[in-house]
Amino acid sequence: MRYSIGTLVLVHILTHRIIFYFMRIKDIVVSGRPRERLTCLGAPALSDAELFAIILKTGNRNENVIDMSNRLISKYGLEKLARCSVGELQKINGIGPAKACQILSLFELGKRHASIKRDGIPIKTAKDVFDYVSPKLNGLEKEQFIVLHLDTKNNITKNEIVSVGILNASIIHPREIFKSAIKESSNSIILVHNHPSGDPAPSNEDRDVTRQLCSAGELLSISVLDHVIVGANGYYSFKEEGCF
């Protein structure tokens, strides 16, 4: 049976596409593999998908790890993946418990590194507070109330999550806030919480909690320097707004 040139060309193209689709990472030329490229060229030379592939290590029976990484990033984006829970990640095709944990560990290390860069630098403004905590709070779907403990030079000695969930005066009790501050011999504290909606404007509950905790701080001689609400792209500072 004779085939036309067009048919033969089509078969050739489809064959190469099928081979490429099922190509395993070990079938890729050594110099083109992510780990080898990182070793030779350094991490900045790699694409997001290549870096992601190094973390995930393996693909699945239908795609190699680079193809999987490209699919995940192009379909969901790094920001959305960083906000997913373990359960949500496992609903994505090709992601099991192990890969879900690898992905979350990657993004958590990134958040912690962003905070560590500010360690040892005195907190002077609400912007300093925002820069310090926003990597921890960015993308969270629940409110977190954090207390920053400061020494006499306004260096952060400890950051503590006091509550997770809707902020109200019945949950944020002064006893829980200042118990740790007394134990740590903190000179002062800064109150921080996030608004998952992205809008940092304070609610009436936010104002009530702030007044309550400031009054308690005065009685205990532990200054509440500010209460900063973190939004998606900005913050609200009670001190800068003249509420202190």
- The architecture in CATH of the region 121-237 reads 3-Layer(aba) Sandwich (3.40)
Is there a contact between 193 and 202 (Cβ–Cβ < 8 Å)?
no
Domain 5-113 has CATH 3.30.420: no
In this prediction, residue 19 carries a pLDDT of 40
More confident residue, 232 or 111: 232
Structure token pair of residue 233 = 């792209």
Tens digit of pLDDT for each residue in 127-179?
999 988 888 887 788 889 999 999 999 999 888 888 887 655 556 778 888 98
* Of the candidate ranges 8-12, 147-151, 225-229, the one whose mean pLDDT is the lowest: 8-12
What percent of the chain shows pLDDT beyond 90?
36
- pLDDT at residue 27 tops 80: no
Q: Residue 34, Cβ neighbours under 10 Å: how many? A: 22
- Whole-Å CA distances, 161 to 44, 136, 166, 209, 225: 34, 11, 14, 16, 18
**Segments making up each domain of the chain, as ranges:** 5-113, 121-237
**Residue 104, CA distances (Å) to 1, 52, 213 in order:** 56, 12, 34
Label residue 24 by pLDDT band (50, 70, 90): low
- For residue 4, what pLDDT is reported? 55
pTM of the model: 0.61
Give the span between the Cα atoms of 117 and 195, in whole angstroms: 24
DSSP E strand boundaries for 83-185: 144-150, 156-164
Q: How many CB atoms lie within 10 A of CB 78?
A: 15
